[in-house]
Amino acid sequence: MQVTQPDPARVSSTALMSVSGLTKHFPVTRGVIFQRRVGLVRSVDDVSFDVARGETLGIVGESGCGKTTTARMLVRLIEPTAGQIMFDGRDITHLRAGAMRPLRREVQMIFQDPYSSLNPRHTVGAIVGAPFRLQKVKTEKGTKQSVQELLELVGLSPEHYNRYPHEFSGGQRQRIGIARTLALRPKLIVADEPVSALDVSIQAQVINLLADLQAELGLTYVIIAHDLSVIRHVCDEVAVMYLGNLVERARRADLYERPRHPYTVALLSAVPRPEPLQRTQDGRRDRRERIRLTGDVPSPLNPPSACRFHTRCWKAQEVCRTVPPPLAELAPGHYVACHFPENTPAPS
Amino acid sequence: MMAGRRDRAKSLVTGPEPGPETSTDASGPRRSSLLEVSDLRIQFSTDDGVVKAVDGVSFTVDRGRTLGIVGESGSGKSVTSLGIMGLHSGGNARISGKIWLDGEELVDASPTRVRQLRGSKMAMIFQDPLSALHPYYTVGYQIAEAYLIHNKVGKKAARAHAIEMLERVGIPNPQARVDDYPHQFSGGMRQRTMIAMALSCDPELLIADEPTTALDVTVQAQILDLISELQEEFHSAVIIITHDLGVVAELADDIMVMYAGKMAEYGTSEDIFNRPGHPYAWGLLGSMPRLDQARTDRLIPIPGTPPSLINVPSGCPFHPRCSYAATTNGRCVSEVPLPRSVGLDHEVACHLSIDEQRQNWADLVAQAAPAASHGEDT
């Protein structure tokens, strides 16, 4: 695979986190004692992006595209196979646990499922106060006071301090999780599907809360989601992943108005629109034309050669099966890995 | 209390003007609606109290039409569908009201009779195909099972039918895949198998409970297209239950919005999206980020959380979260709003007057996005 070198001009001081060539392969083993390696799941392959200070990067893709693995590598919960993660000017790719600990204050994670990410035996006070305890941080007014301030910050009541997670609804639990990540005033928050487990009306509350906190505390977010409309709402820059590859990355408006990778085009076209159904004269449904992708996402255990999207792509030609398309900057700030991009004048 | 509802049912059948005869016999079935549900109530007794999961819901579905039931978790939409299928028997559910399927009453029917109808005349697609399919049997066996029970055919014919059904729902190479087990199928193929199972006996009523929630967006689009095509082919009545307004817009002719076990609003798809009258419907539409409209900086969420169905708030169940509840002199707190007709085939259970509803919605549209593509209220 061709490795895209980070452009020195692009990696400016505004990037809080900068990732290049990030790769994670999980071995598949057989046998108990003599573990033979029988395969390799290429979860994430050569992914590069920057996260600008104070902005939100969205990573979007279908299940199995490696977005969660990427998120976990960013916070160093998974050890990358290859590549480099720079955070605030430091290489944190292979920092050991001890060296990583002070950094944990600055990089925090919000998890998807507010039911399994809070310990049911701990009170809200203990959960939100845990970062202070673990990092041995003394706050001016004491831990309890700080925790209560955090609860207020995320829209909960300070009286909730002594309650247990089961007494709260899904949206409130997600707020507790957010309060915990904010405890140590991180610079970067990685949120893995922060709203997908919530009802629509509650989703909007949490999305607004994340936006308010960003404005108030100057946070930088990396948000992972499968919902393209949520991503459009919260992100400044969007990266689209397919089967472990980053296929397109652009500013929000560019990506949604002029998607260039066929997969992005298909993905956007597949989102159901909340517009009332029309019937034609003979009573048939008058449906919006959409690009239909056939089949399912192939297995990352044995991904298709070269461009991994070629098995489902309507524009695929011989070159797509043999030459991996490089991630090229087709327009300022708009990177696409495709031999035949859409919405682009044909190359001369 | 069901007068408006019956008129609507009638108007669906007889044409544009609502039926003038209001004294229809409350125990008689409607003429040609395939399914009519009237004042359905489903309650569960638990250690903490009685859960009123469905509380007086009425609607009709005609052949060839699709009804979408929309609501958040705990609004009673799945319980309603299970109630129609007769799948609450044996539990501790108490069901009252009437369900007529093609003129036949189901609530008081014998379990044997309901079992005969289930799978043949009415069928259901469940949310999670992995847990709804039996891991121990081949998909072919599971599709053929219902066909064997409801038709006098041999195993060979049933197997051939299963292959035919798999082909119809778009499984490539059905002759070989018929002997596969569910774990050998991908998520989208499993959901196709569920649809093949549901359609194997040509049901007249198909209930799809969150059929695409567990699927990726590109696969979801395939499944929605498939349901829509098959409905046109089989001319069956479909109820689609979902929390996703986008999914419901793709399929439904009529939409019922449920909140806390009650109907909040009922109307055509166009009514619900272009002239919604219930503050909860406004809330749902406002809190949803949309790709088809200009991006707004802030969503307008509904404050608070859905109520517990054991302690449903007095009066209108939505009043603690409703920003208009203060404008009705306490009626919202003390009096349960009954469904009221606000237009042809359009009912709203809200104390606000029709003019107030229209004005408030117009204000919300103007406030959200001046250039939005919503139709103005006339």
Cβ(A219)–Cβ(A56) below 8 Å: no
> Quick one: which of B170, B164, B235 has its CA closest to B206?
B235
Asked if A272 and B246 come within 8 Å (Cβ–Cβ), the reply is: yes
Interval A231-243: pLDDT, tens: 999 999 999 999 9
Flag whether A179 is in a domain.
yes
Residue B291 with chain A: CB contacts under 8 Å:
228-229, 232, 256, 268, 271, 273
How far apart (Å, rounded) are the C-alpha atoms in residues A276 and A258? 25
Extract the tokens encoding A343. Answer: 């919405």
pLDDT, position A282: 67
Is B369 a residue whose pLDDT tops 70?
A: no
Interval A25-76: pLDDT, tens: 998 888 877 778 888 888 999 999 999 999 999 999 988 889 999 999 999 9
Is B63 a residue whose pLDDT tops 60?
A: yes
Is B228 a residue whose pLDDT tops 50?
A: yes
How far apart (Å, rounded) are the C-alpha atoms in residues A2 and A21? 9
Asked if A207 and B216 come within 8 Å (Cβ–Cβ), the reply is: no
pLDDT, position B19: 39
The larger pLDDT score, comparing residue B195 to residue A273, is at B195
The label of the residue with tokens 């944190």 reads A92
3-state secondary structure B153-207: CCHHHHHHHHHHHHHHCCCCCHHHHCCCCHHHCCHHHHHHHHHHHHHCCCCCEEE
Residue A276 with chain B: CB contacts under 8 Å:
249, 268-270, 272-274
Asked if A276 and B299 come within 8 Å (Cβ–Cβ), the reply is: no
| Candidate from A33-42, A176-185, B243-252, B357-366 with smallest mean pLDDT | A33-42
Is B327 a residue whose pLDDT tops 90?
A: no
Interval B275-286: pLDDT, tens: 999 999 999 988
Q: Which of A62, A63, A271 sits opposite B246 (nearest CB)?
A: A271
pLDDT confidence band for A137 (50 / 70 / 90): confident
Q: Which of B251, B268, B287 sits opposite A203 (nearest CB)?
A: B287
Flag whether A172 is in a domain.
yes
Cβ(B42)–Cβ(B81) below 8 Å: no
> Quick one: which of B105, B96, B99 has its CA closest to B41?
B96
| Candidate from B191-200, B214-223, B239-248 with smallest mean pLDDT | B214-223
pLDDT confidence band for B29 (50 / 70 / 90): very low
Residues of chain B numbered 257-276 and touching chain A (CB < 8 Å): 268-270, 272-274
Residue A268 with chain B: CB contacts under 8 Å:
291
Is the pTM above the cut of 0.80?
A: yes
> Quick one: which of B236, B331, B239, B305 has its CA closest to B40?
B239
Q: Name which of A65, A115, A168, A199 to mutate to probe chain B: the one with the most chain B Cβ atoms within 10 A of its Cβ.
A: A199
Structure ipTM over 0.90, yes or no: no
Q: Range of A165's domain?
A: 107-185
CB contact, 8 Å: B220 with chain A? yes
pLDDT, position A140: 82
- Count of CA atoms in the C-beta half-sphere (13 A) of A68: 11
Q: Are strands A188-192 and A220-225 parallel, antiparallel or unpaired?
A: parallel
pLDDT, position B291: 84
Contacts of residues A85-90 at CB distance under 8 Å and 24 or more positions apart, as own/partner, are: A85/A17, A85/A18, A85/A19, A85/A22, A86/A11, A86/A15, A86/A17, A86/A18, A86/A19, A86/A20, A87/A16, A87/A17, A87/A188, A88/A16, A88/A17, A88/A187
Q: What share of chain B is helix, strand, coil (3-state, %, to 5)?
A: 40, 20, 40
CB contact, 8 Å: B183 with chain A? no
pLDDT, position B2: 42
Q: Which of A208, A273, A294 sits opposite B249 (nearest CB)?
A: A273
- Residue A2 neighbours by CB distance under 10 Å: 11
Asked if A293 and B288 come within 8 Å (Cβ–Cβ), the reply is: no
Residue ranges of E strands in A169-219: 188-192
Average pLDDT score over chain B: 85
Flag whether A165 is in a domain.
yes
**Averaged over B360-366, what is the pLDDT?**
87
Total of domains in chain A: 1
H-helix segments, chain B:
3-14, 77-84, 111-117, 129-132, 139-150, 155-168, 174-177, 187-199, 217-234, 245-251, 269-274, 279-286, 331-334, 354-368
Is A6 a residue whose pLDDT tops 60?
A: no
Flag whether A139 is in a domain.
yes
- Domains identified in chain B and CATH numbers: 3-252 (3.40.50.300), 263-368 (no CATH)
How far apart (Å, rounded) are the C-alpha atoms in residues A197 and B348? 29
How far apart (Å, rounded) are the C-alpha atoms in residues B153 and A237? 59
Distance from CA of A89 to the nearest CA of B (A): 32
Is B220 a residue whose pLDDT tops 70?
A: yes
Interval B70-122: pLDDT, tens: 988 888 888 999 999 998 877 788 999 999 999 899 999 998 999 999 989 99
What sign does the dihedral B158-B164-B170-B176 (CA atoms) show? positive
